[in-house]
Structure 1
Amino acid sequence: MPEETSTFLDILIVIGIAAGVFLAAKLILRIGCHHLEKVSKRTETIIDDQLLVALRNTKTLLLALFAVWMGTEWLELGRAEKWLDRGGFFVVVLQAGIWATSFLVGFIIFYGKKRSATGESGAGILWFSYLARVVVWSIAFLLIVSNLGYDVTALIAGLGIGGIAIGLAVQSILGDLFASLSIVLDKPFEVGDFIIVGDLLGVVEKIGIKTTRVRSLSGEQLVFSNNDLTSSRIRNFKRMYERRVVFGFGVIYQTTPDQLESIPGMVKSFIEEQEQTRFDRAHFKGFGESSYDFEVVYYVLDPDYNLYMNIQQAVNLAMVRAFAEHEIEFAYPTRTLYLSKSEEEESLDPAES
């Protein structure tokens, strides 16, 4: 057979194999996607849904390149065959990385939104999505480098030393990054929570990779470093299910024993008249500098601050009216001075002269 005819026939065979592999792969993908779509509708698990998303993310160009590589296996290309095999391996690893990234990121997004009470889990999704991509493509990169014949062990050691140097240079930034991850995992607060950090307070608006932003009651935005937040004592009022209220007052020392004995019962009735309250105790606590002191404890069964203030105001007004009716006076700071004259002053008193 003439050489030109043989070469032309080889080319036709390569094209035929490539076309056959391409069409077969497309058919297998189509059947697989159709089957997974049916399965995903019958199950509640997210795994089959994400597998379906990953398979649909198959790149036609990469599939075509894979088919061409399979076709060239028919040919005897000598040294060029080695580089074609490396190219085919690169295509396979690249597509596998796309599948893995698509599956893992979709999985992270689904569970991130599911676990977030507010429907927003931006910082967590961003963190874990980035981490998943780094892991997948790092593995892909090492596989490709290894396939090219380089020593992966030496490369990993070099990257480790370089990573330590970079880590020392950006220590504060990395501290905030890991603090952000800690906030996402531990969830001391979420977007929408009302928190107090030191003497600053407000509603959490955004949890970022480096900072967390809080809208204060006076309107300005407070920006906290995530590292500072994780090392601070945070009071989260959004997770308060009921509010414990402690307040005290005093009455004057001229109050009679019977009046003193009636005060706890009166205050108890005023609190129990209010909705969404649970009375705990009211006691004659002790003796102040200018008053008989009382202490009262009750619970508001809702964390809303405005509701608490409305209830406390109603209780205070009821106490003022009842005390006025029973002639009980609230105490206020007073001092009684007793003046006495010395014997010399008494002897000089004109009234006795």
Structure 2
Amino acid sequence: MIAKRIGLHWLRRIARRTETKFDDILIRAADFPLTLFILISGGFIIEKHPALANPQLTHAFLVVLKAVVIVSIILFAERLTVSLIKYYSTSVEILKSWSGVVKGTSQVIIYGLGLLILLDSFGISVTPLMASLGIGSLAVALALQPSLENFFSCIQIITDRPVQIGHFIKLESGEEGYVHRIGWRSTWIRMLSNNMVVIPNKSLVSAKIINYYYPESEMAALVEVGVHYGSDLEHVEKITVEVAKEILNEVPGGIKDFQPFIRFHTFDDYSINFSVILRVKEFTDNYLMKHEFIKRLHKRYKKEGIVIPYPIEAVNFEQEKAFENRSSKY
């Protein structure tokens, strides 16, 4: 054990000098399995002492030693695989969303194969077990059909990548928010109210989704405005673009080098309507951008004498009284 500690300490010092992290991961993965192997090997050496010479005891120790070697290899493989997945999940895009699923699947495969090898080393035939597992797997698959549908839908989400963690999306049902977590059964979406929407993966795969991060997070922010028919439209355009430029430069989330513009599009009942096109870094920035733009534009329009019309309803009380008098005669 002392030699093991000294050896691992020496290897760690060498590993720190290298650029790659693989050797550090390898040493950490080998730590516990190596300890287990050393302990059982020590017991085997003690058993070889003449005072403890016993054929049955020797056979038992050999069986246990074989089992410990297999278990040590299984533990080493599992720890190495999990550590590598954890390490690469920070740099490999697909593992950022799928690390939990990959880790769980890898552990099941490693432990399952390890168990079969261990049983075979004890002389237990695994062929009947495999046949039983085939029949049992069919029954389990039927019982877990909804869960399996969600699991394979998770694989679809990860490989096709219609959404990713951190993306802002809007569901067909109307809920919208940031993708917080993609699990093997469900996807969690954090709404702007800081509540979570949990949607089964099979529902997410079949639903129509608006992803505000595709093809990029930058997006246009449109503000609808209407001005009086008597307005000078050239002047309206000039003033509106000036205000839009100020807002994009001053408000956080605006794209400063974007040239804002307006497009007139409708002769309405009370006004000539147009759209103001701004540009923001991501979807949630458009709330503050529109807020500040409307305040600043309203103030500037008042200063420039530009009228924003609105319908007015008037009640003619004299007409109402005349109608009531005529009704009372009948």
Q: Is the 8 A contact 1:57 1:102 kept in 2?
A: no
2:171 maps to a residue whose letter is V
Q: Which residue of 1 aligns with 2:121?
A: 147
Segment of structure 1 superposing worse, 159-168 or 64-73: 64-73
Q: Which residue of 2 aligns with 1:321?
A: 302
Segment of structure 1 superposing worse, 300-309 or 39-48: 300-309
**SS where residue 223 of structure 1 aligns?**
strand
Q: Is the 8 A contact 2:228 2:270 kept in 1?
A: yes
**SS where residue 110 of structure 1 aligns?**
helix
Q: Which runs of 5+ in 2 are unaligned?
A: 313-330
**SS where residue 33 of structure 2 aligns?**
coil
Q: Is the 8 A contact 1:193 1:203 kept in 2?
A: yes
**SS where residue 273 of structure 1 aligns?**
helix
Q: Which residue of 1 aligns with 2:222?
A: 246
1:244 maps to a residue whose letter is A
What is the alpha-carbon distance in structure 1 between the residues aligned to residue 277 and residue 5 of structure 2?
A: 69
What is the alpha-carbon distance in structure 2 between the residues aligned to residue 50 and residue 282 of structure 1?
A: 57
Deviation at 1:98, TM superposition (A): 1.5
Q: Which runs of 5+ in 1 are unaligned?
A: 1-22, 335-353
**SS where residue 45 of structure 1 aligns?**
coil
Q: Is the 8 A contact 1:272 1:279 kept in 2?
A: yes
Q: Which residue of 2 aligns with 1:311?
A: 292
2:64 maps to a residue whose letter is G
Q: Is the 8 A contact 1:279 1:297 kept in 2?
A: no
| 1:129-148 matches, cutoff 5 A | 129-148=103-122
CA deviation digits over 1:17-61, x for unaligned, max 9? Answer: xxxxxx7xx63x446423421221112322111111122213645
**SS where residue 224 of structure 1 aligns?**
strand
Q: Which residue of 1 aligns with 2:75?
A: 98
Q: Which residue of 2 aligns with 1:265?
A: 238
**Cα RMSD over matched residues?**
3.9
**SS where residue 294 of structure 1 aligns?**
strand
2:218 maps to a residue whose letter is E
TM-score by length of 1: 0.68
Q: Is the 8 A contact 2:36 2:72 kept in 1?
A: no
| 1:111 pairs with one of 88, 99, 103 | 88
1:43 aligns with 2:18: yes
What is the alpha-carbon distance in structure 1 between the residues aligned to residue 194 and residue 274 of structure 2?
A: 38
Distance 1:108 1:271, change over 3 A: same
| 1:113-262 matches, cutoff 5 A | 113=90, 124-181=98-155, 183=157, 186=161, 188-190=163-165, 194-198=168-172, 199-218=174-193, 220-237=195-212, 241-253=217-229, 255=230, 259-262=232-235
What is the alpha-carbon distance in structure 1 between the residues aligned to residue 68 and residue 241 of structure 2?
A: 78
Q: Is the 8 A contact 2:178 2:190 kept in 1?
A: yes
Q: Which residue of 2 aligns with 1:339?
A: none
2:76 maps to a residue whose letter is W
